[in-house]
Homo-oligomer: A and B are copies of this chain.
Amino acid sequence: MTSRTPRPRERGIPEATVARLPLYLRALHGLSERGTPTVSSEELASVAGVNSAKLRKDLSHLGSYGTRGVGYDVEYLIYQISRELGLTQDWSVAIIGAGNLGRALADYGGFGTRGFRIAALLDADPKTVGREVAGLSVRHIDELEDVVSDEKVSIGVIATPAAAAQGVCDRCVGAGVGSILNFAPVVLNVPEHVDVRKVDLSIELQILAFHEQRKAVGRRGPGWADALEV
């Protein structure tokens, strides 16, 4: 996310709202899995970690206002948000880097059900090329341009070591890939028209650490809380 170029508002939906829609969608999928038919804005906001006034405003951008005393229909709201995010069509994704992370991503069940099709997994290592991973045969990085063109890849997922990431990114962009999801611990430079998001897997751990710290302070008593403040 650090390397994401700010873009102007598109069709009136603020960028910050777009960033929150997947959070609502994740919360809604959780409710749907538990068989919950409707959800209040307060409840959905609490699960998604935003305040309910903001949630109502965000959803109003989608033309979704809920029903007084009932709330939002979970399945319909999933459909509305998915449509808004473009998830009702399939997006073709190429994963570059078939190490542990690339293989884990190729094998990740969540993508297929969310509108993403892993079209190819590529690697530079001859020992890895040709191996079967999640039903795909790993292809050589030299085939990248052909893969992008043949499979109409619009999103490239970079799961290479840091040193290889910029080179791979440049080749993706050169081949016409419009969006890059970067798992490598580097900041990538891309032209203006390309979107980059950087994933930092430690973010969720950081939120948990906050709660652990508070719990630890609670066990030690209030005196320690002040001491830790210093």
Interface contact A209-B91, CB-CB below 8 Å: yes
Interface contact B50-A31, CB-CB below 8 Å: no
Q: Report the Cα distance A11→B154, complex, angstroms.
A: 45
Indicate with 1 or 0, residue by residue over A181-197, a CB within 8 angstroms of chain B CB atoms. Answer: 10001010000010101
Q: Report the Cα distance A207→B26, complex, angstroms.
A: 12
Interface contact A205-B99, CB-CB below 8 Å: no
**Residues of B contacting A72 with CB < 8 Å?**
none
Interface contact B2-A30, CB-CB below 8 Å: yes
Interface contact B86-A210, CB-CB below 8 Å: yes
Is A109 interfacial (CB 8 A cutoff)?
A: yes
Indicate with 1 or 0, residue by residue over A209-221, a CB within 8 angstroms of chain B CB atoms. Answer: 1111111000000
Interface contact A187-B91, CB-CB below 8 Å: no
Interface contact A26-B203, CB-CB below 8 Å: yes
Q: Given A100-B104, A104-B101, A205-B116, are A212 and B110 also a contact pair (CB < 8 Å)?
A: no
Is A129 interfacial (CB 8 A cutoff)?
A: no
Interface contact B85-A206, CB-CB below 8 Å: yes
Is A167 interfacial (CB 8 A cutoff)?
A: no
Task: Count A interface residues, CB 8 Å.
Answer: 82
A16's partner among B51, B87, B187, B195 (CB-CB below 8 A) is B51
Q: Of residues 155 to 208 in A, which have CB atoms within 8 Å of B's CB atoms?
A: 155, 157, 162, 178-179, 181, 185, 187, 193, 195, 197-208
Interface contact B11-A31, CB-CB below 8 Å: no
Given known contacts A1-B48, A1-B49, what 12 new A-B pairs fall within 8 Å (CB)?
Answer: A2-B26, A19-B207, A22-B203, A22-B207, A85-B207, A86-B214, A89-B213, A100-B100, A100-B103, A100-B107, A193-B215, A197-B204
Pick 29 A–B contacts, CB within 8 A, sort by A. Answer: A2-B27, A3-B30, A4-B49, A10-B211, A14-B51, A16-B50, A19-B207, A21-B207, A26-B198, A26-B200, A29-B200, A33-B187, A86-B209, A86-B213, A87-B209, A91-B205, A101-B108, A104-B104, A109-B185, A111-B201, A114-B205, A155-B205, A155-B209, A178-B215, A179-B209, A195-B211, A197-B208, A199-B201, A199-B204
The 10 residue pairs across chains A and B that have the minimum distance between CB atoms: A2-B30, A86-B213, A100-B104, A101-B104, A179-B208, A19-B49, A22-B206, A100-B103, A22-B203, A114-B202
